[in-house]
A and B are shown apart, each in its own frame.
Chain A
């Protein structure tokens, strides 16, 4: 049976260099619809570059990226976001001079294609959806707080809220729990899991916290020196010798 219809993200022979430094040498990857998967690897392995290429932040040197069967290689960032790929960044990338509410509302208005409206006051629009998303991400108590003065953990939650506001088919999370307390980490990953289970959202994340990786991902890929050296279920990757040698260590 042809299962291409069941693949949300298909990447073939992806290459990226910065000058003489080859970051991704030949990466092929596929993510089934509704999957929750992690890309792991040491610092400098190319995980963030991998996300940057998928979302159009960097231009691809070689290879192709297909999303829901459609080639999106080197599309502009905003167009990729519109097709249904949302991203939360490793370092929180928010609107510091807007309130938490205004941050989320802005992303929702964009998803609703209402940002060209110059006549209606913004405060009258998307109020209900914004409050719902703030509640979902646990940010409702901080709705009137300037995003720039939120705690690091809350900024990461806001990152997630901005990504979810786009109603994506595929959610890319770059170290979603970095800077969070263990309680916040648990809450955030449980939310991610719930979204995956309830609305079938496909999720691909990078993470260094081994307990998060093995606790939530159903598929793991180990990226090392710009190549995928091991792939499979957490159990399969755990037993993979090369993955152990390059990243996981023997105690995992």
Chain B
């Protein structure tokens, strides 16, 4: 951190050091501000202005936009006692999104599915990659295994523990606290403060509150202060209610959070409170309520992008692709440089047979200065499918140059895909092999290798590959169906039946699996 041990800047003679500190604070030079205030407080321990400024500076130095990073911890997700219905109707719960074309959504055979049974999003954000345990009506142990496995299969990513990211951020702040105060101890010993006294002074209380919540990560203490402060303001202050809601949310008391945030919104509609309230509903697994909140907020603040994007994300999670796309477009009209909307729209166009449009969106992202493996990889694919062959390989080369170990497997997989597209099966085979050597758990590569082996006539190798995928990725229906078809052709109807049933479990509308099952049933019924 920049603040640690930084020397206080020179103060020109005749200038008030506090003035310099304020200027530094406004320039977001928090380290210098803290050092200056520390000097001032050493000379005059009861200087309220210096104390206030130092508190603000310490808070701002570690401040994060916690509305955006909300990842559900594994304990919360597994022991979820907030869900209202165990078998909700489709479209009313995140655990049971709308399926198939009924919602204008996308089809699993066109757009690949993530491990949680939703179409892959165009933008990796918290929660899109990991499988939410318990969805897709999988058995309890399978859900647990999926939750413990973390996000991308096989990578070292750990599942989120109780407070999600806040815990790790908290550990970083311990170091800050150790050197924050002059004498080695923490700058403010919250436990020893008389919060009642501070609650009477509105300005100081707010600074102190933010310090406790963002710097100390102590929502319990913060809650105490906020509760006292609301009492002191006769329950009339929307700011305090909003912060109360935030504290309750962090403590997992979702219904209390909802109450406080609603009351805050009634007193004074704000974007932040709207976002937080929607977040509470999402955590309660009431996506439609969240959508209502977003919509009301968007009426009050028609030019705010975050509300529109929030709505779009929720629609995406409910598999309502059509609605989400309209919302992303609105977000782009409000903010033409919104990276997430661009990426999602690009993915949408790519998977609806419009690679040319996807290419334009990806190019726009490139112009915005985004340069990542994923983007170059997607550019390459769009180029290939829109017949711009000369650019395709160059883009793949860039992607490979930028890729780290986690992503190189994906890029090689796509190189293999393109190789299949130009009919060069040898190259495709090698690319998939490389993908597996980089990322031993790259299931899609195993699946495609299986198909290639099948074409070569190596039935046993194909079977082995399919089996690997069955174990590692029960959410993919293709390997199940391919395995079933292979077993059917070899005459092993028992295995064909089992695998075809699993394929249907992963993708209930797959016509070919149904047809296969029908034939099998006929065989079984025949005496």
Q: Do A and B make up one complex?
A: no
Give me the interface of A with B, judged by CB distance under 8 Å.
Answer: none
